[in-house]
Amino acid sequence: MRTQVAIIGSGPSGLLLGQLLADAGVDTIILERATKDYVLGRIRAGVLEEGMADMLDEAGAGARMRREGLPHDGFDLTFSGRHHRIDLHALTGKRVVVYGQTEVTRDLMDRREATGGVTIYEAQNVQPHDFDGASPYVTYDKDGVTHRIDCDFIAGCDGFHGPSRKAVEGKGLQTFERVYPFGWLGIVAEVPPVSHELIYCNHPRGFALCSMRSNTRSRYYVQCALDEKVEEWSDDRFWDEIRRRLPAETAEAVTTGPSIEKSIAPLRSFVAEPMRFGRLFLVGDAAHIVPPTGAKGLNLAASDVRYLFDGLRDYYADKSDSGINAYSERALRRVWKAERFSWWMTNTMHRFPDAGPFGQRMQEAELDYLSGSIAAQTSLAENYVGLPY
């Protein structure tokens, strides 16, 4: 088989890149390790920056998001028993759209199928080859046969644990990492959200987040220790804990119900540099991870795709390689600023075991300053809605 761009991974990065390229007349094949249902079964991000929402429109996959997504003009911070609303729209003129990553993935998969895009699911042992030269190729196993796909470029959209970054270890790859001493225990429940906007809570018992997927489906998180087991958290225990971390009037207003999904995710900050190795490009979680506190993970995948798509489109349309040559540097500049914001928001909102009384007071002073400073709120808001591409 042959294609112009072989894409490893059918998550948001791979699907969005594949659709933009297909619409620009560039042939792609997506190789996905899992089944379509498994990919759609993963519950992940929930907040889209305007840049991501606009790219879904550009890819012809934004109609349902515009219809069912919830535009949000702001969110609440709670700390020291206080509420403070960050008015994103008043401070930046922008807003975010609350729309689950599962739905983003579904819309992109539907669009790919409707436009005849090829995705090979359950492709095992996917490996990129010869990307240092002009004739890269990818191999994979399926139904007991090893297949080869020759291509011009390989897009490694295979997430944090995929083969693309592994394939460039020892080839000048440099990594930067911070692993946080806690995780997030999250649930999804078919109950109305406690508020029409998100609530980020700093509490002595730990961080909590009240989010949603729709006006009838809620998404909640509590900070938990890394050695916690999800099976030790009954629904009742979860609801009791999150209500203990909310201001009293908010806790009273929480509608509880049976969880339909419950899981614990570790938190890390991670960046791999550079994001290009010859004709192999690292995209999205394959290149970087942020703690979800700043809602940047999915949105960083979108800006990577923007830069790589623009470069590949120019390569095929104008035989210009300036865009692909600039990809890594351009992507990393935005990645590092989002890493900083996500790290700052995580440090400001979570309980750190080794913070001590001084560290606690620093958090309280940070939040007290933030609540009284338009300049500080504007800085938070412009990062949260997404810095320019």
Tell me the C-alpha to C-alpha distance, in Å, between residue 72 and each of 135, 245, 336. Answer: 46, 23, 25
| Catalytic-role residue among 203, 288, 296, 350 | 296
272: three-class secondary structure by DSSP: strand
x-marked contacts with ligand PHB along 184-203 as a string, rule CB under 6 A: --------------x-----
- Residue whose Cβ sits closest to ligand PHB: 46
Q: What residue 219 binds from ligand PHB, ligand FAS, none (CB within 5 to 8 A, per partner kind)?
A: ligand PHB
Q: What residue 285 binds from ligand FAS, ligand PHB, none (CB within 5 to 8 A, per partner kind)?
A: ligand FAS
* 357 given a catalytic annotation: no
Q: Is 113 within 8 Å of 19 (Cβ atoms)?
A: no
* 166 given a catalytic annotation: no
Q: Is 45 within 8 Å of 292 (Cβ atoms)?
A: yes
Q: Cα(369)–Cα(349) distance, rounded to whole angstroms? A: 14
- How many residues line the site for ligand PHB (CB under 6 A)? 9
Comparing CB distances to ligand PHB, the nearer of 200 and 277 is 200
By CB under 6 A, tell whether 349 contacts ligand PHB. no
269: three-class secondary structure by DSSP: strand
* 384 given a catalytic annotation: yes
- For 371, the token pair is 């609540």
Q: Is 371 within 8 Å of 82 (Cβ atoms)?
A: yes
Q: Cα(344)–Cα(194) distance, rounded to whole angstroms? A: 26
| Catalytic-role residue among 12, 72, 136, 140 | 72
By CB under 6 A, tell whether 86 contacts ligand PHB. no
* 369 given a catalytic annotation: no
By CB under 6 A, tell whether 292 contacts ligand PHB. yes
- Give burial (CB, 10 Å; 0-12/13-18/19+) of 300: buried
Applying CB under 6 A, which part among 113-121, 137-145, 159-167, 288-296 lies near ligand PHB?
A: 288-296
Comparing CB distances to ligand PHB, the nearer of 27 and 103 is 103
Comparing CB distances to ligand FAS, the nearer of 202 and 211 is 211
Question: Residues 92, 195, 202, 211: which binds ligand PHB (CB under 6 A)?
Answer: 211
* 353 given a catalytic annotation: no
Residues at the interface with ligand FAS (CB under 6 A): 8-14, 31-34, 39, 44-46, 101, 123, 126, 157-159, 161-163, 265, 284-285, 292, 295-298, 301
Name the H helices within 132-207. Answer: 163-167
| Catalytic-role residue among 203, 247, 292, 350 | 292
Tell me the C-alpha to C-alpha distance, in Å, between residue 269 and each of 179, 275, 287, 336, 339. Answer: 6, 16, 11, 10, 7
Write the CB contacts of 372 (distance below 8 Å, at least 6 apart in sequence).
none
Comparing CB distances to ligand PHB, the nearer of 102 and 363 is 102
Q: What residue 293 binds from ligand FAS, ligand PHB, none (CB within 5 to 8 A, per partner kind)?
A: ligand PHB
| Catalytic-role residue among 99, 140, 327, 384 | 384
Q: Cα(90)–Cα(175) distance, rounded to whole angstroms? A: 38
Residue bearing tokens 């006006």: 215
Q: Cα(24)–Cα(115) distance, rounded to whole angstroms? A: 12
Q: Is 195 within 8 Å of 210 (Cβ atoms)?
A: yes
Question: Residues 26, 47, 56, 109: which binds ligand PHB (CB under 6 A)?
Answer: 47
Please state the closest distance from residue 20 (CB atom) to ligand FAS, in A.
14
3: three-class secondary structure by DSSP: coil
Q: Residues in the site for ligand PHB, rule: CB under 6 A? A: 45-47, 198, 211, 219, 292-293, 295
Query: Which residues carry out catalysis?
Result: 72, 200, 292, 296, 384
